[in-house]
Amino acid sequence: MILSNFIDHTNLKPMASLSEIQKLCGEAKNYGFYAVCVNGCHVSLAAEELKNTKVKIAAVVGFPLGAMSTEAKIFEARECVKNGADEIDMVINIGWLKSNEDSKVRNEIKSIKRVIGDKILKVILENCYLTTSEKEKACTLAVEAGADFVKTSTGFGSGGATFEDVILMKKIVGDKLGVKASGGIKDKETALKYIDLGVSRIGTSSGIILLN
């Protein structure tokens, strides 16, 4: 098991400069991280920096609140893929989920997956705002909509990944979807525990620390 192969090396700060994104990409190449995860405005730059490398580009969509229109998310996802993104990390509409608008949540995920085609779609649940039953429902809807991953958190909410949430998510999605743990993962021991629990990707801005 090579830890770097699990890591989405992340900088989603609103104040991230172009030089910081270039630095992120350079680190991803040097340390062999699976992907970088960036905001949509930086996808073109990341694509240029990572050209002819194995490092993937993940772009966030509907970030961090998930509360914009489905049409806006679809446009954003399409633009990110056009500019070089290999993966899309989208935030669900939490208000719809809590309002039992299951078909709207499902159809939004399905619509975004349709426009990105064979690119990877990760669905961010933002578990810190959800009850256990809502987490279970969100995972089920992601499976039904044809997503590729469920993801714990944006890292911008009131809480990040927890072992309990990953266990619950893995129980619901089984082998149908991957699970990405993200938010507050800052040391190697914690990362390895998440991998033991079945995650196949870890989102962190502390990737280099995790490897030491």
Contact 148, 125 (CB under 8 A): no
Can you give the pLDDT at residue 1? 85
Distance CA 191, CA 205 (A): 12
Given a cut of 90, whether residue 212 has pLDDT beyond it is no
- Mean of the pLDDT values across residues 2-14? 97
- Mean of the pLDDT values across residues 173-180? 98
- This prediction has a pTM of 0.97
The beta-strand segments (E) located in 42-177 are: 56-61, 87-91, 120-124, 149-151
Q: Could you list the active site residues? A: 89, 151, 180
Domain limits, the chain: 3-206
Nearest to 151 by CA among 37, 14, 15: 37
Can you give the pLDDT at residue 135? 98
Mean pLDDT computed over every residue of the chain:
98
Per residue in 135-151, pLDDT (tens digit) is 999 999 999 999 999 99
Can you give the pLDDT at residue 94? 98
Per residue in 11-58, pLDDT (tens digit) is 999 999 999 999 999 999 999 999 999 999 999 999 999 999 999 999
Contact 199, 180 (CB under 8 A): yes
Nearest to 35 by CA among 109, 74, 88, 75: 88
Cα atoms in the 13 Å half-sphere on the side-chain side of 24 = 31
Give the tokens for residue 188.
Answer: 């190697």
CA 206 and chain centroid, separation: 15
Contact 169, 126 (CB under 8 A): no
Can you give the pLDDT at residue 15? 98
Contact 89, 126 (CB under 8 A): no
Per residue in 151-165, pLDDT (tens digit) is 999 999 999 999 999
Per residue in 58-111, pLDDT (tens digit) is 999 999 999 999 999 999 999 999 999 999 999 999 999 999 999 999 999 999
Enter the CATH code of domain 3-206: 3.20.20.70
Residues 6+ apart with CB under 8 A from 212: 188
Can you give the pLDDT at residue 93? 98
Can you give the pLDDT at residue 78? 98
Q: Which residue(s) pair with 11 in the sheet?
A: 38
Residues 6+ apart with CB under 8 A from 161: 127, 152, 153, 181, 182, 183, 184, 185, 194
Contact 152, 165 (CB under 8 A): yes
